[in-house]
Structure 1
Amino acid sequence: MTTTVSNYAKVLYQLNVSADSISIAEDTFAESKELMKVLCSPVIMPKKKYEIIDKIFPKDICNFIKVVSKNGRMTSINDIFKEYHNWYNKENKIVVAHLYYVVKPTEEQQEKLKAFVKKKLNASKVELELIEKPDLIGGFVIEANGHEFDRSFKNKLNALNRKLVWR
């Protein structure tokens, strides 16, 4: 991530643009490759680009997108949104954790895992992204903010194997 992208993301966060507006903008860019081409085109005059932005996007994010366009950074807009979410999560102590599993945990188990991660990482909220990974044999692995909590059978078997080989 470049410093420029990070700086734009911080500014977007500081502007207090609504989460709905950011989501709409992300979805709009994801759905329309032509829009990105138009906003990046050096042939189209900035005034025309600004008219398009005003028609398509929610008011509270229009000026931000205009500045990004004016400064020739539209190709980085998706990275800016991604970094914005990272910044938002960091500032609000929200942790996005990847939960690798063999058997999908129940809602109750997921809540217990969220509570575990909250406590370990001092978070106010934990969002779990569930990813099936059969090669764990059993158990689970949680990765969050550079930490790994490995409670898989595969890890236990590897540890046992290392102990036996060491002897």
Structure 2
Amino acid sequence: MTVTAVNYAKTLYDLSVSRKVIQNTKEIFRKVPELAQSLKNPLVPFEIKEKVIDRVIPEEMKSFIKVVCKHHRIDLIEEIFEDYEELCRQHEKTIHAVMRYVTAPKDAQLDGIRAFLCREFGAQKAEIEMIEDKSLIGGFVLLAGGSEYDWSLRGRYRKLEQKLTRR
């Protein structure tokens, strides 16, 4: 998170553009990486960049993207969108977590993990991004709020190895 990206994200949040429109814009940049590359290119005149923005960006986002582009910060666009999502989660008192697992947890287990996250971080809601990771051998690793909770077999093997090598 850079200060500049956070400032742009706050501005975007204050503009009260619908989340759906912002998601659509984010998706355009994700699906067409050449768009950001051409908007970053210093050899392309700003007038041409404006025409491109007018053709492909949703109406509600055009002026914001033009300002970001005019100030030569389009390279931060992905980070701006991520910081915007984080701001929305903070205002909604939602914690975002990433769970790497070997075997997908059952719904009851996920509910327990969500309850743990809400208690631990004082949130009202928990979003869990699920990523399968067979290298963990078993169990799972949960990343949330800058903390890591490692309940994987690989993590336990490492701890055991550290204890044994310290003797």
Into which bin does the TM-score normalised by the smaller protein fall?
A: 0.7 to 0.9
Q: Which residue of 2 aligns with 1:24?
A: 24
Structure 1 gap ranges (5+): none
2:2 partner letter: T
Match runs of 1:18-167 below 5 Å: 18-134=18-134, 136=136, 138-152=138-152
Structure 1 counterpart of 2:96, one-letter code: V
Cα offset, 1:153, TM superposition: 5.4
Task: Flag structure 2 segments of 5+ consecutive residues without an equivalent.
Answer: none
Q: Secondary structure at the match of 1:123?
A: coil
RMSD in angstroms over aligned alpha carbons?
2.8
**Paired amino acid for 1:96:** H
Q: Compare CA radii of gyration and give the structure with the larger one.
A: 1
Question: After alignment, is 90-99 or 138-147 more displaced?
Answer: 138-147
TM (normalized to structure 2)?
Answer: 0.80
Distance 1:25 1:165, change over 3 A: closer
What displacement does 1:166 show? 9.5
The verdict on how the C-alpha distance between 1:41 and 1:134 changes in structure 2, with shifts beyond 3 A counting, is closer
TM-score, scaled to structure 1: 0.80
Q: Could you say which residue in structure 1 is the equivalent of 2:15?
A: 15
Range 87-96 or range 15-24, more displaced: 87-96
